[in-house]
Amino acid sequence: MSDDIRTTIGLRPVINVSGTMTSLGASIVVPEAIAAMSSILPQFVEINDLQRKASAVIARLTGGEAGFVTASCSAGISLAVAGAITGNDLLAIERLPEVTTTKNEVLLQMGHVVSYGAPVDQAIRLAGGKVVFVGQATSAHRFHMENAITENTAAAVYVVSHHVVDYGLLNLKEFVEIAHARGVPVIVDAASEYDLRIFLEQGADIAIYSGHKFLGGPTSGIVAGKKELVRNAFLQNMGIGRGMKVGKESIFGAMAALEAWEKRDHAGIRERETSYLNLWKQTLDGRPGVTALIEPDPTDNPLDRMRVIITAQDAHITAWDLADALARGTPPIVVRDHEVEHHYFYLDPCNLHPGQEKIVASRLGEELDKARASNEIIATPLENRSKHRFDGALRWPD
Please calculate the CA angle 140-143-144 and round it to the nearest 5 degrees: 45
Interatomic CA distance for residues 256 and 32, integer angstroms: 6
Residue-wise pLDDT tens digits, 192-219 = 888 899 999 999 999 999 998 888 999 9
- Decide if pLDDT at 159 tops 80: yes
Interatomic CA distance for residues 157 and 179, integer angstroms: 10
Residue-wise pLDDT tens digits, 91-135 = 999 999 999 889 999 999 999 999 888 999 999 999 999 999 999
Give the mean pLDDT of 147-169: 93
> Which is more confident, 214 or 318?
318
pLDDT of amino acid 266: 87
- Decide if pLDDT at 34 tops 60: yes
Name all domains of the chain by residue range, CATH numbers in brackets: 27-263 (3.40.640.10), 266-393 (3.90.1150.180)
Task: Give kind and range of the element (H or E) at residue 296.
Answer: strand 290-296
Interatomic CA distance for residues 327 and 345, integer angstroms: 13
Q: What is the mean pLDDT of the chain?
A: 93
Residue-wise pLDDT tens digits, 325-372 = 999 999 999 999 988 999 999 999 989 999 999 999 999 999 999 999
Q: Quick one: angle between helices 47-62 and 248-263, nearest 10?
A: 20
Can you name the residues that pair with 158 across neighbouring β-strands? 188
Please calculate the CA angle 293-297-298 and round it to the nearest 5 degrees: 105
> Which is more confident, 147 or 384?
147
Alpha helices (H) in the chain, listed in sequence order: 5-8, 31-40, 47-62, 73-86, 90-95, 120-125, 142-148, 172-181, 198-201, 227-234, 248-263, 266-284, 312-315, 319-328, 356-373, 382-387, 391-395
Interatomic CA distance for residues 130 and 126, integer angstroms: 10
Interatomic CA distance for residues 209 and 218, integer angstroms: 12
Backbone dihedral angles phi then psi of residue 336, each to the nearest 5 degrees: -90, 105
Q: Which residues of 76-108 are buried (b: 16+ CB within 10 A; e: fewer)?
A: bbbbbbbbbbbbeeeebbeebeebeeeebbbbb
The HSE-up count of residue 169 (CA atoms within 13 Å, CB side) is 21
For residue 1, name the pLDDT band (cuts at 50, 70, 90).
Answer: very low
pLDDT more than 90, % of the chain: 75
pTM, 2 dp: 0.90
Q: Is 129 helix (H, G, I), strand (E, B) or coil?
A: coil
Output the CA torsion sign for 91, 97, 102, 107.
positive
- Decide if pLDDT at 173 tops 90: yes
Residue-wise pLDDT tens digits, 227-258 = 999 999 999 999 999 999 999 999 999 999 99
For residue 2, name the pLDDT band (cuts at 50, 70, 90).
Answer: low
19: left (phi over 0), alpha (psi -120 to 50) or beta: left
State the amino acid at position 198 in one-letter form: I
